[in-house]
Amino acid sequence: MTHSTRLVRRTLLLSLALCAAVLGGCASKTPPLEALDREIEVERFMGDWYVVAFIPIDLPFFSEADAHDAVERYELDEEGRIDVTYTFRDGSFDAEPTVMTQRGRIHDEERGTEWRVQPFWPFWSAYLIAWLDEDYERAIVGVPSRKYVWVLSRAAPLEEAELAALTERVGELGYDPAEVRRVPHRPASEQGEQP
What's the 3-state SS for the chain? Answer: CCHHHHHHHHHHHHHHHHHHHHHHCCCCCCCCCCCCCCCCCHHHHCEEEEEEEEECCEECCEECCCEEEEEEEEEECCCCEEEEEEEEEECCCCCCEEEEEEEEEECCCCCCCEEEEEEECCEEEEEEEEEECCCCCEEEEECCCCCCEEEEECCCCCCHHHHHHHHHHHHHCCCCHHHCEECCCCCHHHHCCCC
Cis check for the bond before 122: say yes or no (omega within 30 of 0).
yes
Residue 25: pLDDT over 70: no
Rounded to an integer, the average pLDDT of 65-94 is 96
Domains and CATH numbers, the chain: 3-191 (2.40.128.20)
pLDDT score, position 23: 42
Q: Lowest-pLDDT range, 57-66, 145-154, 168-177, 186-195?
A: 186-195
182: number of Cβ within 10 Å: 14
CA pair distance 5, 144, nearest whole angstrom:
31
Residue 161, pLDDT > 90, answer: yes
Of 108, 106, 116, 143, the closest CA to residue 32 belongs to 143
Name, in order, each residue with C-beta under 8 angstroms of 44's C-beta and a sequence gap of 6 or more. Answer: 136
Asked whether 33 and 144 are in contact (CB, 8 A), the reply is yes
Whether the predicted pLDDT of 105 surpasses 70 = yes
In this prediction the pTM is 0.84
pLDDT at position 14 over 80: no
Instruction: Please say if the pLDDT value at position 24 is more than 90.
Output: no
